[in-house]
Structure 1
Amino acid sequence: MRTYNFERVREDSYNELEKKKKEMKYINRLNFKIEKEQMYIRETSNKEYDNLYNIYDEEKLYNLRIHKKSIDKFSSEERNEKKLINLKVLYCEFKECRFENIEFIGCIFIGNVFLKCDFENVIFKDCKFYNEEDDINIFKDECKLREVRFNNSNIEKIKFENIGLKNVYIKESNLNGSIFNKCIMKEVIICDSDLSSIKILRPKHLDISFEDYYLSKFDEHTFIDKVDLKKKDKNEYIDICKVYKDISTKFEANRLSNIGGEYYYIAKLIEKNGLKGIAKLKSMIYWALCGYGERPTYALITSLEIVLVFAILYMITGLNIGGELVNYKSALRGNVDVASINKDFINSLYFSIVTFTTVGYGDITPVGFFSTLLSAIEMLLGVTMVGIWTATLSRKITK
């Protein structure tokens, strides 16, 4: 009983991402065409960012292509603070630029593209990255965000694609509809933010945590994909397991218990991969019996397997069916009456079912010590499995 189809949600999210990319290209082409005479390209061949691109408070950057520059605030000799206030950056392209030790306060970023840019020790406070016309911002092509903070900012519907985020702190901000595609996310901390409809697709590394004073908002469209688990050691499995358990807790805190259960199931699967010995065996049994409490069909399938196995064992150990003895020990030596196998198997299966369900009509009885012992074991397993299946099913239904 799955409540979350990861493949379908992932496909829908990719389609949404491609649609936004096409819209973004159209917006940029249109604006660049209209404002062609106002275009100003700042580009050098120096990759070490020797030349600064100075920006003033309340300046408006519109339709600029700024390449290979280190972005800085123009400052006088009397005042050397890197705080940019009420800046407007509209429909610009930044390529191989460096933003370092800057605080943006009350700034507006609309329809911009950031390619291979480095952001280090940057603060966005009370900033806006979205407008009602869906003119989104895109960070892609190996951009790096290190020691970046978003405080009380609207970073709605931003597209982050194939970038790295490390030591990023997001507090009281709106990420509604944002997409993170194939990103490396290390030590990303989220506090009291809106993650409705956020999509994290195919993360290369996933290390996010929540430090909520109130509650970060999730909805039924919030989607965090499964991380690639290739070549992980035990500690990494434990860390990733903790991430998905935190995600599960946040969904349940937002009264989305069904989805929260799916992420709990993923967390337990990841945890199983990092276990060894008896601990791993216990986890595998727990998975097979009921899917860690999230798959009632697993309990049903396991019950059917038990019934079938015991039906075969009864044919070997012996049953008394209406005064006729059924015992296929001789089949192990190759002496078997093929014509009677189907009939005897049906009778053995019937006896296995009534024994498993503890009904026991008495029309078929076990013969000998081993057959009696098997029936006792099956009754105990039946009582246990019926209870597990009922409890798991009830838990999923009540969610």
Structure 2
Amino acid sequence: MDFSGAIFEGGAYFLKAKFEGGAYFLEAKFEGWAYFLEAKFEGDVNFSGAIFEGDVNFSGAIFETRGMFAHVEKIEEEVKFSGAILNRVFFEDTDLTKIRFYGTAIENAYLAGANFGNKRFIEEREAIDEERNLLQHITKALKKPGLKSILKSMFVFFAFPDNSYRKIKTKCKPISEAFRRAEDVYRNVKLSLQNEGDYETAGEFYYKEMLMRRKRTLYEIKNLKYWLFSHIYSKLCGYGEKPLRVILAAFFVILFFGTFYWLTGTVTGEGITDSSFDYYYFSVVTFTTLGFGDIHPVSFTGKLATMLEALTGAFMMALFVLVFGRKMLR
């Protein structure tokens, strides 16, 4: 059945319609409402380049083979897919901000260049990424050449309702499962990017994957030791992806110990003057384990502080070399 280029001036009513062959609505214009409730499309469906000026409803519809909604020109109202089953759907270069997927089952979604707006990524009405970064990263990745099918088979039973994270944050078990699913999504995208040779973007997804894993362990309350280690690891170097954080942490340690020496007076020597600069100088020398000897601790507290700073400095310098080398080797 071919409606390509057709103009539906009034309403288009296809309630429980059964399309045994292909259904083609290429560049069709729907000036009023269009209802495809519980329609069954056994062949290919193509709405590419269509214009929807009124309310469009595909609730309960079944797309058995392939649904094309690529390059849809205009959506003025809303397009609803509530409870629909979509298999191999294409939303390339389509604005999804007015498309509703409440309770929709989606398999093999092609979303290259699609615009998600500021939607959150939600699965079964549970928030996955309250920082609202997942879809932005996926959209960015899909714009790269050769990545149009990067999310194939990942969008299974995913929805995009406007739920608030705060409304459901007390549901520990569902949110934990949602974080697990988000972790799997990030991992799959990371592996796909690595296969494409885009290691820099893959690193961003690795960071997000580890972030979701840490949040999942917090909600599960089964491994607090791992959560604490993961939290520190994230803050120090972004799971090995952010060497700048190591440098900032090193500056903080040097400033902290320098201020401590200055306020407590636990160090002395020929190089000490009335200037606070000498204490920060000693902190840098201790942190880098140079040890010139012109300034030295004079009390147990001072000795303990210099030992702690020296060990911290040795560890952080080794960490920086490891993280920086890891980034450069890519």
Both proteins in one fold, TM over 0.5: yes
Residue 248 of structure 1 pairs with residue 195 of structure 2: no
Change (3 A) 1:229 1:264: farther
| Structure 1 residues 42-191: aligned runs within 5 Å | 57-58=1-2, 62-65=6-9, 67=11, 69-73=13-17, 82-89=19-26, 90-93=28-31, 95=33, 97-109=35-47, 110-113=49-52, 115-123=55-63, 125-126=65-66, 128-130=68-70, 136=73, 138=75, 141=78, 143-151=80-88, 154-162=90-98, 163-171=100-108, 174-181=110-117, 182=119, 186=123
What residue number does 2:178 align with? 239
Structure 1 counterpart of 2:312, from 381, 390, 394: 381
Does residue 309 (structure 1) correspond to residue 256 (structure 2)? The answer is yes
How far apart are 1:398 and its partner, in Å? 3.4
Deviation at 1:63, TM superposition (A): 0.8
Aligned twin of 2:246: 299
Determine helix, strand or coil for the equivalent of 1:125: coil
Tell me how far 1:353 sits from its aligned partner.
0.7
Residues 220-279 of structure 1: per-residue CA shift (max 9 Å, x gap): xxxxxxx97444344415523423344333333332222222233334445545526555
Aligned-residue offset at 1:94: 5.8
* Mapped partners of 2:252, 2:79: distance in 1: 50
Kept in 2: contact 1:68–1:96 (CA 8 A): yes
Letter in 2 for 1:259: T
Question: In structure 2, what is the Cα distance between the partners aligned to 1:248 and 1:230?
Answer: 29
Give the TM-score taking structure 2 as reference length: 0.70
Distance in 2 (CA, whole Å) between partners of 1:365 and 1:136 is 73
- 2-structure distance, mates of 1:140, 1:116: 8
Shift of 1:179: 2.3
Equivalent position to 2:300, from 356, 369, 388: 369
Aligned with 1:71: secondary structure? coil
d(CA) in 2 for partners of 1:294 and 1:323? 39
**Which whole-Å CA distance do the structure 1 matches of 2:79 and 2:137 have between them?**
15
**2: CA distance, partners of 1:155 / 1:249:** 23
* 2-structure distance, mates of 1:367, 1:88: 85
TM-score normalized by the length of structure 1: 0.60
User: What amino acid maps onto 2:267 in structure 1?
Assistant: L
- Aligned-partner SS, 1:260: helix
Deviation at 1:145, TM superposition (A): 4.0
Q: Among the aligned pairs, what percent are the same residue? A: 21
Q: 1:237 to 1:265 in 2, by over 3 A?
A: farther
**Is contact 1:150–1:169 with CA below 8 Å preserved after alignment?**
yes
Q: How far apart, in 1, do the equivalents of 2:7 and 2:36 lie?
A: 19
Does the aligned pair in 1 maintain the 2:110–2:149 contact within 8 Å?
A: no
Larger Rg belongs to: 1
From the superposition, tell whether residues 128 and 267 of structure 1 become closer, same or farther in structure 2 (CA, over 3 Å).
closer
**Cα pair 1:245 1:263 within 8 Å, conserved:** yes
